[in-house]
Amino acid sequence: MRNPFEKMPTILLADEIIDKAFRRAEKAASAFTPRGNIISKARQREELRVRTVSNVTRDSLRKVLDRTPGVSTLPPFYQELLDTLVDKRMFHKALASINWAIKTIRGLEERYVEKIRYSRDPKEIAKLRREFYGRVASILKDINDNLEYLNKARDVLKDMPVIDLTLPTIVIAGHPNVGKSTLLRKLTNAKPEVATYPFTTKGINVGQFEEHWLKYQVIDTPGLLDRPISERNEIEKQAILALRHLGKLVIYIFDPSEYCGYPIEDQMHLFEEIYEEFGDFPFIVVLNKTDIASEDKIRKVEEFLQRRGIKSLRIAAEKGIGIDELKSKVIEIIKPEMEAIARSMGKTEGE
């Protein structure tokens, strides 16, 4: 799985495209040897300049469209991230302006070539070519703000997290220091890969594990699901919305020892917000650090969950206690859906 924007090119601005196109046109004209009388030679030379400017300009713009995915073609997860990072509507509008410029310049090319071919005055022919140059430059300057916008967007989008959208994904939530990264390492048996989220300084931790030939993906999003959603800014709320398109299951971690620095009451409050936001998701709630937490505090959390009809697992991630049971629970919840998808794909291929 790749970042869908990794091939998005550096985008030339209006003045750069104009300079490039005009230089290419003069070079082509200088290397060209026209035939015929003065009028015929003028026509050939100026038509060459017009077509070269048109081709170079349109090729520069088309490269942007060809190597930038359309908004509607993106999976919902990346559409939400796009909206979070650069404003999906503005991004689409900027790409549409480039498409408009390509079509408009192509139309002008044909119109001015026709005028040049019918003109019998070398001065008039040169004037038509200059007119065409001016029209092209004007079009490019009209879309320059959009070109600048796309260049800035590219700088952000190339750092989007690379996540395998084909894998069932487990999202870990809970306050900082409750043991999320430790649990991620224990579940995946590997050092998590850290990819950058442009809207958080802490990045996103990604790990995978395989069981019975099926792969599972586990992610921890420091800075997103570790404090109340009510305290989030709009960008963070949008990022949380993106996770809803990605996840299949939420593992919520409590630390009844309170060594994480957050009282049990605060942890309960955060759980209620996350549970409400992701209430349509399957949840597995784990009580971590149960090897060092007091039984009273463990029971306090368990009773809080039981009142809401939620069962929990006791684990001690650092020591590997309860990890196998947790992994079995994850597979029990997700595997039927994955097998159904696999059967559906097999049926489709066989039809």
Q: Are 145 and 90 in contact (CB under 8 A)?
A: no
- CA torsion sign for 80, 86, 90, 91 is negative
For 311-350, write each residue's pLDDT tens digit. 999 999 999 999 999 999 998 888 777 666 666 656 444 4
The DSSP secondary structure of 261-299, one letter per residue, reads: S--HHHHHHHHHHHHHHTTTS-EEEEE--TTTS-HHHHH
Q: Please give the angle made by the CA atoms of 121, 31 and 60, to the nearest 5 degrees.
A: 90
Q: Is the predicted pLDDT of residue 161 greater than 80, yes or no?
A: no
pLDDT of residue 201: 38
pLDDT of residue 345: 56
Residues 6+ apart with CB under 8 A from 125: 39, 42, 43, 46, 116, 119
Mean pLDDT of 217-222: 81
Domain stop point among 127, 157, 187: 157
Residue 3 maps to a domain: no
Same domain, 234 and 324: yes
Name the pLDDT band for 202 (thresholds 50, 70, 90). Answer: low
Q: Please give the angle made by the CA atoms of 123, 125 and 127, to the nearest 5 degrees.
A: 70
Supply the pTM of this predicted model. 0.69
Q: Is the predicted pLDDT of residue 235 greater than 50, yes or no?
A: yes
pLDDT of residue 329: 92
pLDDT of residue 342: 62
Number of domains in the chain: 2
Instruction: Name the residue among 12, 85, 20 with its Cα closest to residue 56.
Output: 20
- Determine the Cα–Cα distance for residues 170 and 195; give it in Å rounded to an integer: 16
Same domain, 68 and 151: yes
Same domain, 151 and 173: no
Instruction: Name the residue among 324, 251, 323, 255 with its Cα closest to residue 289.
Output: 255
Instruction: Name the residue among 336, 177, 189, 316 with its Cα closest to residue 249.
Output: 336
Q: Is the predicted pLDDT of residue 78 greater than 70, yes or no?
A: yes
Kindly report the CATH number assigned to the domain that includes residue 200: 3.40.50.300
Residue 97 maps to a domain: yes
Kindly report the CATH number assigned to the domain that includes residue 102: 1.20.120.1190
Same domain, 144 and 248: no
Q: Mean of the per-residue pLDDT values for the chain?
A: 86
Name the pLDDT band for 94 (thresholds 50, 70, 90). Answer: very high
pLDDT of residue 77: 80
- Determine the Cα–Cα distance for residues 170 and 218; give it in Å rounded to an integer: 5
Tell me the longest C-alpha to C-alpha distance in the chain. Answer: 102
Residue 7 maps to a domain: no
Same domain, 44 and 142: yes
Same domain, 128 and 186: no
pLDDT of residue 344: 63
Residues 6+ apart with CB under 8 A from 271: 174, 252, 254, 285
Domain stop point among 125, 157, 189: 157
Mean pLDDT of 206-232: 78
Residue 34 maps to a domain: yes
Q: Which domain, by its residues, includes 251?
A: 169-350
Domain stop point among 95, 123, 157: 157
pLDDT of residue 340: 65
> What do you get for the CA distance between the two ends of the chain, in Å?
27
Same domain, 142 and 196: no
Name the pLDDT band for 351 (thresholds 50, 70, 90). Answer: very low
Same domain, 252 and 136: no
Q: Are 140 and 14 in contact (CB under 8 A)?
A: yes
Same domain, 136 and 179: no
Torsion of CA 197, 201, 202, 208, to 10 degrees: 10
Residue with tokens 């410029």: 101
Name the pLDDT band for 194 (thresholds 50, 70, 90). Answer: very low
Residue with tokens 């043991």: 179
Residue 206 maps to a domain: yes
pLDDT of residue 193: 53
Of 137 and 191, the structure prediction assigns the larger pLDDT to 137
Same domain, 22 and 52: yes
Mean pLDDT of 29-45: 90
Same domain, 183 and 326: yes
The β-bridge partners of 207 are 218
Same domain, 66 and 95: yes
Residue 222 maps to a domain: yes
Q: Are 186 and 315 in contact (CB under 8 A)?
A: no
Residue 1 maps to a domain: no
Least confident range from 47-61, 150-164, 264-278: namely 150-164
Residue 8 maps to a domain: no
- Determine the Cα–Cα distance for residues 225 and 286; give it in Å rounded to an integer: 15
- CA torsion sign for 272, 273, 279, 283 is negative
